[in-house]
Structure 1
Amino acid sequence: MDTQFGLRVRELRETRGLLQRQVAALLDIDTPLYSKIERGERIAKKEVAIHLALILKANEAELLTLWLADQVMDVLKDEKLASEALKTVSKKIKKNK
């Protein structure tokens, strides 16, 4: 299952001509784990997402937004009331700003 975060990270890595093993080494994780993050089989920790932004010279806010969206999707993907729940949360977030 590809994730928006994983797809974007793969795109950025390939644009910079880096191999998965090179990025994994910079993150101090093994290559199979990194590969799973790109493929959406594992959710990266927030710290990894931030470090990836530095390594890939990417916009940190963009990567964190995609990372968080994937987290929310993972929780809500099988819920019938997901859209209603998101609307409620969105209203609360806007109200608290």
Structure 2
Amino acid sequence: MQFGERIKELRESKELLQRQLAASLEIDTPMYSKLERGERRAKREQVLLLADLLDADVHDLLTIWLADQVYDLVKDEEDAQKALRVAEERVTYKTQKKR
């Protein structure tokens, strides 16, 4: 599931209007609509605020948001899967090193 789809699902389950969330994010309604349609990327700060406003798990929303960004970056690359494996190894190594 993409970030925009998820926030739309959460917003509708809370019976909130796009304009209500747009106002809380201090953006206009058309801009918020673009976030839900996946035509614009939310900023990290907006993701954190949306998690709070929608009573959503912040880590779940951040994961989906970040996955969308990674996908957009590598989707047209021939070696995308190989690059993702290398990145995964680096993240795993860095995580283990912090422990």
TM-score (norm 2): 0.93
Match of 2:19 in 1: 21
2: distance between equivalents of 1:71 and 1:21?
A: 25
Secondary structure of 1:57 counterpart: coil
Percentage identity across paired residues of the two chains: 54
Q: What runs of 5+ residues in structure 1 fail to find an aligned partner?
A: none
Q: RMSD over aligned Cα, in angstroms?
A: 0.9
* 1:31 matched residue in structure 2: 29
- Equivalent residues in 2 for 1:14-93 (5 A)? 14-93=12-91
Distance 1:19 1:69 in 2: 26
Number of equivalenced pairs: 95
Greater C-alpha radius of gyration: 2
Letter matched to residue 39 of structure 1: R
- Output the TM-score relative to the length of structure 1: 0.95
Q: Which runs of 5+ in 2 are unaligned?
A: none
